[in-house]
Structure 1
Amino acid sequence: MKSVIFGTTTLAVAAGLGIYVWQAQNATAHPCGDTAVAGGAIGGPFELISETGETVTDADVITKPTLIYFGYTFCPDVCPLDTMRNAQAAYMLEDQGLDIGTVFISVDPPRDTVEVVRDFTDNFHEDMIGLTGTPEQIKAASQAYKTYYRAQEGDPEFYLVDHSTQTYLMFPETGFATFFRRDNSPEQVAETTACFIDQLA
């Protein structure tokens, strides 16, 4: 597993600040765990720019069980930690012989260029797919996944972005399976994902 080195300066960001909170509606409906969230169906078509500069759709990147996270590379703590957690879970599953994808979708298109997103995702997992796009493309993808994001006003270069922090487990044929909160450990993500793969794949 690759080691990840972060900067020594970490800004304190309240975990609940500006976060669009999803509440589980049906926590016992599936033997693997939560499968329902408030707000309706999760997932749908999107068209974004990959870290290789190509235009891709959801069908291009969700070709196997996939963990999808919306964040931004300038994020001081939440996004790196969540992305690292997802990468660690992917490595754990790979050790079990299970192949899953990991996707990072930027909600900060002005700063997150193709090159920036590629460098960010390469720090966590060699197969993690980084996606960015135009503001319109990002908005459409965010709406499909019922996520929230809003850039804070202030410094035009060093601004922060409030955003939701769920990670979604998606399958190419059946779509949304479940979601993971910030307090879920890599082991929990791996165990639950393996359960859904056994049930749905």
Structure 2
Amino acid sequence: MTCRSTIAATCLLLSLTLAGCDTSTTSRAAEAPLAGAQIGGPFELVDAQGKTVRWSDFDGKFRMVYFGYAYCPDICPFDVQRMMKGFEQFKKAEPELAAQVQPLFITIDPARDTPKVVGEFTSAFSDDLLGLTGTPDQVAQAAKAFAVYYTKGETSESGGYLMDHSRAAFLMGRKGEPIALLPVEKGPDEVAAELERWVS
């Protein structure tokens, strides 16, 4: 599988200036790497049981969001494994805070990633990881909201194919606002440290 680096849209950040605010919460929000970026937004997908899930269902919780696909032969499984191991480390250190974080895996291959397939994929990593899929239009809407690129590769004679997609794990705030990119490529320790930094 070939994965593009996180697309430029996730790196173009708007600087926020908050005058007269000296609380730690406000300062941390202003310092967030993705503060002000146009990332995230409404979507409607389904979980492993076929139940409708909306972005607004997670209001009040932090969200870890990764876009990938279950049939990915290399990048996605390792990224998700590191992301969830980092979350488990954070959960052991800060169980009350971790209870306020929802990890999400959203497929970019709805043709093959049925609710059952997505459920089996996510359960291999953690019971805390919620897998989501939907119709092609629903998935496209969710990906667009997060500025996630994806496209289907060439189909082989056997009918198999790979998906090319941008590689990023997003940490979103309680109101659905973008906070930071989780460094899944660096390992669980770095993911846990980033959660420790921003989840409060």
TM-score (norm: length of structure 1): 0.80
Higher RCO, Cα 8 Å, sep 6+: 2
Quick check: 1:24–1:34 contact (8 Å CA) kept in 2? no
- Residue in structure 2 matched with residue 108 of structure 1 by the alignment: 109
Distance 1:143 1:178 in 2: 18
RMSD, matched Cα: 2.6
- Residue in structure 2 matched with residue 126 of structure 1 by the alignment: 127
- Residue in structure 1 matched with residue 145 of structure 2 by the alignment: 144
- Residue in structure 2 matched with residue 153 of structure 1 by the alignment: 154
Question: Quick check: which one's helix share is greater?
Answer: 2
Where 2:199 maps in the other structure, the secondary structure is helix
* TM-superposition CA deviations, 1:123-149 (whole Å, max 9, x none): 000121000000000000000000000
**What's the offset of the Cα at 1:181?**
4.4
Query: Which of structures 1 and 2 has the bigger CA Rg?
Result: 2
Q: Which consecutive residues of structure 2, in runs of 5 or more, have no partner in the other structure?
A: 18-26
Distance 1:179 1:62 in 2: 19
Where 1:95 maps in the other structure, the secondary structure is helix
CA change 1:61–1:153 in 2 (3 A) is farther
- Residue in structure 1 matched with residue 20 of structure 2 by the alignment: none
* TM-superposition CA deviations, 1:81-110 (whole Å, max 9, x none): 111011101101110123122100000000
Distance 2:107 2:48 in 1: 11
**What's the offset of the Cα at 1:60?**
1.8
- Residue in structure 1 matched with residue 11 of structure 2 by the alignment: 23
TM-score (norm: length of structure 2): 0.81
- Residue in structure 1 matched with residue 178 of structure 2 by the alignment: 176
Match for residue 82 of structure 1 among 79, 84, 101: 79
**What's the offset of the Cα at 1:61?**
4.0
Quick check: 1:104–1:128 contact (8 Å CA) kept in 2? yes
Quick check: 1:147–1:164 contact (8 Å CA) kept in 2? yes
Identity of aligned residues (%): 32
Aligned residues: 183
- Residue in structure 2 matched with residue 187 of structure 1 by the alignment: 189
Segments of 4+ in structure 1 off by > 4 A? 24-27, 29-34
CA change 1:83–1:146 in 2 (3 A) is same
